[in-house]
Amino acid sequence: MYPIRFFLRSYFSEITMNANESRIDKALKIAANASDYKVCEGCDSIVSIGSVLCPNCHSFRFDESRTRVISQAMLLGSREQNSVTASDLM
């Protein structure tokens, strides 16, 4: 039998990998369906087009332009990628 620590470690490393993957995946999905989203003017987070208030900062001002949504999605995706690269180097 494998020690429980082995299971825990592989379990958590899998979660971390999936989290990073899903962040980039999500950014690509948002960019592909940019008209379904808008960018919060208060905190730059991407919210669904149906949202009335930003869930992060409760702002009600949004930029609904497609180019803004796409550039913001790419920024968030690449930011995540950069942080992964940086932590790999440490």
For Zn ion, how many residues bind (rule: CB under 5 A)?
7
Q: To which residue do tokens 């825990």 refer?
A: 8
Reported residue count of the chain is 90
Please tell me whether residue 56 binds Zn ion under the rule CB under 5 A.
yes
CA distances (Å), origin 7, targets 12, 18, 21, 66: 9, 17, 21, 44
Contact with Zn ion (CB under 5 A): which of 34, 54, 73, 76?
54
Cβ 87 to Zn ion, closest distance in Å? 26
Site for Zn ion in 4-43 (CB under 5 A): 40, 42-43
List, in sequence order, every residue forming a beta bridge with 48; answer none if it has no partner.
37
- Measured from the CB atom, is 23 or 41 closer to Zn ion? 41
